Structure 1
Amino acid sequence: MAKNEQDKYIDEWADEQNRHIGEIKIPPLGEYPPDLECWYGSLMNELVTKDLIRHFADASGDRNPLWRNEDYAKNTRWGGIIAPPTFTDGMIQPYAGNMVTGSEIVPKFNSFFSLPDGATRMIFQVMRPGDKIRAIQYSLGVKETVPYRPNPAREFEDTVRRVLINQREEVVAILDRHMKVVINHAFDNDHPYWIKRKKRRLTDAERDEIQNYYDTEKIRGPRTPYWEDVKVGEALNEVLVGPIQIQDTFSAYTVVTGHAAGFDLEWERVKKNFDFHWLDPEMNAWSAGAACHVCDEKGHAFLWDGGAAVGFFFTAEWILGRLVVKWMGDNGFLKKMDDRCDPYYPIIGDVLRAKGEVTKKYSEGGENLVDLKIHIENQDKVNIMRGTAVVQLPSKNDYKLEKQSPITYKTSL
C-alpha cells in the first residue's frame, strides 16, 4: 500500500513497466540512429568471424588457443575455433533496456537512476566463425528487491531478455540482463549510487603476484576433468588480473563498442537525452557519459561511486567466464552463468581475483552436470561480483558428448 505521494508514483511506475511484459523489440544494428527503447542494447555485429573472436579474447586477456589457433582447435571436441562463452557481449551490447529522460522522471521522483546489475546467461550452442546472429528482446518486468540504500529509497530489478538466434533458426543463447533501478535515493558525493570507494596504490608484493601469475598461468586445455572425478567442495584454480587500467577500459570498448559513435553521431545520442550526458566545464562542451569510465571526477563518477573512474561489470563477467573455462577445459560446456554486482562495482585500480568451488554434481536429461559457486574479490577482499554456473562434463562411462538438440526461437519463448 502506498505510504505517501512518492510511493504512489513509484507503484504506478512499476505497474506501468509490468504492463509491457512480453512486448517484443528487435534490437537495432549499430548505435546510429540512436534508439531510446534500446539505448545500450544494440546488435553490434551480425557475423561471427575468426577476427572478431580473436579481438574479444585479446580484450579480455584470454590466451586460450581454442579461441585463436586453428591447428589446436581442430583436435578438440569442436573441430575448429569457437568463441568463448561470454563472447555474446561481442555480438550484442551487454546493457539492455530503454532510456528514460529527465522530462519523464524529474517531475515525479526525487531521484531515479538505473544501472547494470549483472546477467543470467543461458547457452545452448557454441558460436563459430561463419555464424550469422540476429536477436529479439522483450521485458520480463520489474520486481521490487530489498534495498541496499537507506530509507526512503526503493529498489527494483528490471530484467530484459535477449534471445540470440543463428542462421539455422537455433537459439544460441538467452541473455537476461538485470538492471538495478533505485528511486528516491539521496544522491550526493557521500552517498553515491554504489558504495563510495577510492583506488589505492598496490604494494610491491601485490604487483609482483599479479605479474608472476601472468607469466606462469596454465590453462587446462584438453585435460578436461571427468565428471566422476569431480568432488563437491573442490576449489577452482584462481584467475588473477589487474589492476584495471584505462587501457583495459579501452580494450573493453573495442569489442563491446559501448560508445562506438563519435563526433556528430555521438551528438545524435547526446541531444536525445541531455540528462544522461555531461556538460564538461573545462571545455564547455557536451561529453558522452563514457568520461566516467576513464577519468576520476569526470562525468557521472561522483554520482556513481563518489568520484573514482568506474570499470565495467562485463569485464568482471569475462573474468568469471575465464575462471570456469580454465577449470572445465576444452571439452566442457558452460550451460549457464548467473551473476550480480550490486552494491559494489569494479573501479579503475581494482585487482580482480576470481574464485570458485564445486557445490553439486548430478545427472539430468542425459547430461553429467556440475554446479559451481563463483565470485570475484578485489585486492582488499571486497566482493565485486558473485554468481553461480552450471557446467556439462564428459563421463568415463560414456565419453560421447552428444550435440544438444537445437532449440528454436518458438520453443524458447
Structure 2
Amino acid sequence: MNAQTDIFPKITDDGLEQLRRRTGKLITGSLEPWCHEATRDNIRHYAHGIGDDNPLWCDPDYAAKSRFGTIVAPPSFLFACDRIVSGYVGGLSGVHAMWAGADWTWHEPVLRNDEITTEARLKDLIEHQTRFAGRAIQQIYHVDFFKQDGTKVAEADSWCFRTDRDEARERGTKYKEVKARAPEPYTDAQLEAFYDLYAKEEVRGSTPRYWEDVSEGDDLPKMAKGPMTVTGFIAYAQGWGGLYIRANKLNWRQITAHPGLGIKNRFGVPDCPERVHWEDEFAHMVGTPGAYDYGPERCSWLTHHMTNWMGDDGFLRKASCKIRRHNPVGDMLVISGKVTRKFVEYGRHLVEIEQAAHNQHDELSVLGSGVVELPSRAG
C-alpha cells in the first residue's frame, strides 16, 4: 500500500494513564457472553469451529459411557463464555487490539448444561517496542470462571497487544518479506501430503494413556490446521461468537455506544474492526499480510492437540499460548509437541508438554505448553 496520511487514533500517554487507573477493579457492564450455558449445541458448535471431532464433546451416547457420564466441553470452550478473556479490551478508543496469548488453569471439567459466570479485572499494562508497529501495549486481564454452584472451574490471564494501525501499515517491518511474496497456489501433491496428517489424526478417546507408559522426550503426533480460509475463520466465529459481529439495529447500537469502534468501509458505512479476519482490504490497513485467523482459535488448536493425545481419562490442568505471527489466508500450520517432564504433585500424576506450530515456510506461528493429568496404573 502506498504511503498515506495517518487516519487512525494513536496510543497516548494520557489514554494509558486513564486506562491504568482501572487496574485491579472488577469490570462490570461488559458485553454479554456468546454462551451462558454449556449446552449440547453450544459445545458442539465450538468443537466443530476448531475442527475437533472428539466424541466426548459431541456424542451423547459415547459420552454417557465415559467417567463423566455426559458430554464434556473442550477446555477452550470457556473462550465463548467471556468477552474479556477473548480480547474485548477497554480503553484506548480506536486503537487496534490483537489477541496474543493466555495462561490457563482448569480446576474442574465443564459438563453439559453447566451455567458459567465470570469475574474479570485488568491486571497489567506493559509497553513493548515491536517490529510490527513500533510502540505496543500489552493489556493483560485476569478472568475467573464459575459454574452454577459457585465452584471455580478455571482461571486465565489473557492479553491483547494494542498497536497503532498507521504505524504498522506504513512503517512496520515484521511482514516486509511476507508482503513481497507472490501468491503460490498449492499443487494437488502438496495438499495431499498436508491432508495426510488429517487422515492419520488420532483421538485417543476411551483408551487410557497411563502416566507410567509416558516417557520424557516422547513426541506427540503432529496436528494439521488449515490451509487457512475465510470459511474456516467464520466456522470458528460461529462457535465462539465473535466480539463485534452484530447485525442491523444491534450493530448500530454498538457503534453508537463505542464511537471509536466502527470504521468506515469502502461504502462509507461504519463496520467492525473484526473484519480483519475476513476482509483483506481492511487487514492490509492495519499492517497485516491479509485476513488472518483468530487468536483464541489458535490457542484452542493447541489445547485440541493435547486433549487428542491424553484421552478421555486425562485432564488438562494448564495451558499457555504465545502468538508469534499472524496466519493469513493460505497458510498451512503444523503443530508439534514433546513431553518434557513427568512428576507427581498433590497425588496427581502429571506430564508437562511443550508445543510449537510452524507454517509452510517453517516460520514460527505460536508457542504453547501444557500440564496434563493422566491416570496411573497404581490407581
Give the shorter-chain TM-score range. 0.7 to 0.9
Does 1:332 find its partner at 2:324? no
Of the structure 1 ranges 181-190 and 69-78, higher mean CA displacement relative to structure 2 is found in 181-190
Distance 2:235 2:165 in 1: 35
Q: 1:85 corresponds to which residue?
A: 75
Q: How does 1:329-368 map to 2 (within 5 A)?
A: 329-342=311-324, 344-368=325-349
TM-score with structure 1 setting the length? 0.81
Does 1:115 find its partner at 2:98? yes
Of the structure 1 ranges 225-234 and 263-272, higher mean CA displacement relative to structure 2 is found in 263-272
Does 1:373 find its partner at 2:354? yes
Residue of 207, 214, 225 corresponding to 1:230: 214
Does 1:21 find its partner at 2:23? yes
1:236·1:356 contact (CA, 8 Å) conserved in 2?
Answer: yes
> Residues 188 and 53 of structure 1: is their aligned pair in 2 closer, same or farther, counting only changes over 3 Å?
closer
Q: 1:265 corresponds to which residue?
A: 250
SS in 1 for 2:239: helix
Distance 1:200 1:170 in 2: 51
SS in 1 for 2:335: strand
Counterpart code for 2:159: H
> Residues 292 and 143 of structure 1: is their aligned pair in 2 closer, same or farther, counting only changes over 3 Å?
closer
Of the structure 1 ranges 267-276 and 61-70, higher mean CA displacement relative to structure 2 is found in 267-276
> Residues 63 and 318 of structure 1: is their aligned pair in 2 closer, same or farther, counting only changes over 3 Å?
same
Q: How large is the Cα RMSD of the aligned pairs?
A: 2.5
Q: 2:6 corresponds to which residue?
A: none
Counterpart code for 1:23: K
Q: Runs of 5+ in structure 2 lacking a partner?
A: 1-11
Q: Give the paired residue count.
A: 363
Q: 2:293 corresponds to which residue?
A: 311
Distance 1:224 1:272 in 2: 51
What is the CA-CA distance between 1:113 and the residue it aligns to?
4.3
Of the structure 1 ranges 251-260 and 330-339, higher mean CA displacement relative to structure 2 is found in 251-260
Counterpart code for 1:140: K
What is the CA-CA distance between 1:46 and the residue it aligns to?
1.3
Distance 1:382 1:247 in 2: 23
Counterpart code for 2:362: K
TM-score with structure 2 setting the length? 0.87
Distance 1:226 1:155 in 2: 44
> Residues 312 and 67 of structure 1: is their aligned pair in 2 closer, same or farther, counting only changes over 3 Å?
same
1:299-340: CA deviation from partner (whole Å, max 9, x where unpaired): 24332314x112211221121111101111111110111111
1:29·1:44 contact (CA, 8 Å) conserved in 2?
Answer: no
Q: How does 1:4-403 map to 2 (within 5 A)?
A: 10=13, 16-26=18-28, 28=30, 30=32, 43-93=33-83, 94-102=86-94, 113-145=96-128, 147-149=129-131, 153-182=134-163, 186-189=167-170, 191=172, 197-198=178-179, 200-258=184-242, 259-281=244-266, 283-297=267-281, 299-306=282-289, 308-342=290-324, 344-398=325-379
1:139-168: CA deviation from partner (whole Å, max 9, x where unpaired): 1111334x33289x3343221111111111
Q: Runs of 5+ in structure 1 lacking a partner?
A: 1-8, 31-42, 103-111, 399-413
1:200·1:349 contact (CA, 8 Å) conserved in 2?
Answer: no
Counterpart code for 1:65: P
1:192·1:305 contact (CA, 8 Å) conserved in 2?
Answer: no
Q: 1:34 corresponds to which residue?
A: none
> Residues 261 and 150 of structure 1: is their aligned pair in 2 closer, same or farther, counting only changes over 3 Å?
closer
What is the CA-CA distance between 1:101 and the residue it aligns to?
2.0
Counterpart code for 2:309: W
Counterpart code for 1:78: F
What is the CA-CA distance between 1:256 and the residue it aligns to?
1.5
> Residues 274 and 300 of structure 1: is their aligned pair in 2 closer, same or farther, counting only changes over 3 Å?
farther
